[in-house]
Homo-oligomer: A and B are copies of this chain.
Amino acid sequence: MSKVINFKEKFHKFDDHWSPRVIAEMNDYQFKLVKVEGEFVWHDHPVTDEVFIVIEGVLSIEFRDGNVTLNSGEMYVIPKGVEHKPVAKSECKIMIVVPKGVVNTGDSGSALTAENDVWV
């Protein structure tokens, strides 16, 4: 029997931004926690949708044709292939759901590309 996963406890274990930590796997999908602050890079994920859930703080997601703002207790599904850029004015704690192996910066090739499959 595995352990219950507590978001706050997991967030206490790391401080860097834009560096997803895997907290759980279901089938071939991973649930990842990320602390974000500032502007990420424009990118898309050509083969998969991506789910963002805001745990604490405020996250904006810019699209080429507009933007959305997510508060704590809100989620959003980025359709596959849609360019987006996450932005947070101050630190925001989020959970992402994507298939295992998906790179955070998609195919944009950025200095913000994080090591994949890092667990916390």
Contacts and interface: CB of A to CB of B under 8 A. Distances in A.
A1 B66 contact: yes
Interface stretch (A13-21, A69-77, A108-116): A69-77
A50 B24 CA distance: 11
A27 B4 contact: no
Contacts of A48: 26-27
A72 to B, nearest CB: 10
Interface residues of A, number: 36
Give the residue among A7, A8, A80 with the most B Cβ atoms within 10 A: A7
Residue in A3, A27, A66, A68 with the greatest tally of chain B CB atoms within 10 Å? A27
Contact of A26 (B23, B25, B49): B49
A97 B5 CA distance: 15
B26 A68 contact: no
Contacts of A68: 1, 3-4
20 contacts: A1-B66, A1-B68, A2-B77, A3-B68, A4-B68, A4-B74, A4-B75, A5-B74, A5-B76, A5-B77, A6-B71, A6-B73, A7-B73, A7-B75, A8-B73, A23-B75, A24-B77, A25-B49, A29-B29, A55-B73
